[in-house]
Amino acid sequence: MPDTACLTSVVKNTSGARAFFSFLPPHGQWLDNNQEISYFGSILDRVRKPNRYSSKTETEDLDRFILNGNLTIRQLPVPIIIQTDTGNTVMITDHSVSGLDGVNPCWV
């Protein structure tokens, strides 16, 4: 069944307590310990938004929270490419035995 799960980011509060993450869209988020939240697209791009309201502090805060173990990025969008030989759109998956494979995107 088609879906868009391969196009989402998931972050998780791993701080050990309920915490406020001021850099999470849209205007900061309270997350309980071990709570996850999903975003359409890349959370890295959402925090590093390319507009006049972007803040270097938000990117620095994301980095600091990850490095301190208070936030974990559980999922980022799967890379989507166009195969040059066939023109097919595929998403890249990791098969630890056979290496990287291109498979139909999740929405197909």
Q: Where are the beta strands (DSSP E) in the chain?
A: 8-13, 19-21, 29-31, 36-40, 71-75, 80-82, 89-95, 99-103
- Reported as a single tens digit per residue, the pLDDT across 27-82 is 899 999 999 999 999 998 888 765 545 567 888 889 999 999 999 999 998 888 88
Confidence at 26, pLDDT banded by 50, 70, 90 = confident
d(CA 27, CA 49): 13
3-class secondary-structure state, position 68: coil
d(CA 8, CA 42): 7
Higher pLDDT, 90 or 22: 22
pLDDT over threshold 70, residue 97 = no
